[in-house]
Amino acid sequence: MGGHDDEKLVDSPLYADLARLRQSVAGQQDHIAATLDRAASDMGGGGVWEGPVAKTFASEVEGRKGEVHRLAQEIVDAVDAVLSRTPEQVPLSQAQLYRRAV
């Protein structure tokens, strides 16, 4: 890292923030993914609403449910990808710049 070669390495505050973000997102992933589960289950079981329009709507809800599950996982995967490219330790001056910017 150019002029940082002899500088003391410290824990990266960016890495720590990303790790906290990942933990938060992963902790909410099940809740996010389950937002349409009950509606899809209720619609799929009949009795809530019946008929051809209801079947079309139930199919739409089921499709959206799958999309929500996929997107929730993509959020976790995106944070993981950035985390994997972020060094756990950085030169002290870089950590200080990050802290000042945040």
pLDDT in tens, 91-102: 999 999 999 998
Fold of 8-101: Helix Hairpins (1.10.287)
**Torsion on CA atoms 34, 39, 41, 42, rounded to nearest 10:** 150
Q: Where are the domains of the chain?
A: 8-101
Please tell me what DSSP assigns to residue 86. S
Which tens digits make up the pLDDT trace of 19-75? 999 999 999 888 877 878 887 777 777 677 888 888 888 888 888 888 988 998 999
